[in-house]
Structure formats: structure tokens, C-alpha cells
Amino acid sequence: AAPWTVERLAREAGLSRAAFARRFAALTGRPPLAYLTWWRMTLAARLLAESALPLASVAERVGYTSEFAFAHAFKRWCGLAPGRYRRAHADRGPRGAVHPPRAVRTP
């Protein structure tokens, strides 16, 4: 799959890059790529907490081709390395009850 870029998304929507970015931010409260990062990391946090998938598989499922790049981005996003996040959240309550850190929970 091709990487997501604002240019590509704008083209798909039939808008200029600037118009797409403005409309997207107005609807979501975040610029397009910041929203994409939030969505990917939120999904990764859930996969880490609720599954035993290897880190490389989690990285691939959320759109990273490099486990290293994913681990770096995840740590920057929530302050914990993926493995540490998994250990800290693996035994919390019923499945589906795990949430990303409060500071990054909402878009």
C-alpha cells in the first residue's frame, strides 16, 4: 500500500492540499497526519494491551514497515516503549477496557 500523504488524500477527495487540510482539521480538530498518527498509535496501544502479537506484527498492522520506526514513534507518542506499555497494561480488567494514556486519548 502507498503511504498516506496529504497530497494523496486531497487528490482522492478532489480538493487542493490546502483545502483538504483546512476541512479535515475543522472536522477532526487535528491536521490530517496528526490525526493519522493518533489513530495508528491508539490502535497500536490496544493491540499491545489486548494481544500477544509480536511487535513486528503490531507495527505492520498499524502501517509501519519498520519495527524500529514504530517503536520510536510509539515511545514519542505515549512516553513508554511498546514492550513496556504492553507489560504495564496486559493484566488490566476485561478486554476492551484498556485505553491509551490520558494525555493522548482524544483526537
Domain boundary assignment for the chain:
32-104
Q: What pLDDT is attached to residue 90? A: 79
Q: Which of 43, 22, 15 is nearest to 53 (CA)?
A: 43
Phi, then psi, of 91 in degrees rounded to 5: -105, 25
pTM of the model: 0.76
Greatest C-alpha distance within the chain: 46
Q: Candidates 3.20.20.70, 1.25.40.10, 3.40.50.1370, 1.10.10.60; correct CATH number of 32-104? A: 1.10.10.60
Mean pLDDT of 49-76: 95
Q: What pLDDT is attached to residue 97? A: 44
Amino acid found at 80: L
Under the banding of pLDDT at 50, 70 and 90, the label for residue 92 is: low
**For the stretch 69-93, what's the b/e string if a residue is b when 16 or more beta carbons lie within 10 angstroms of its beta carbon?**
ebbebbeebbebebeebbeebeeee
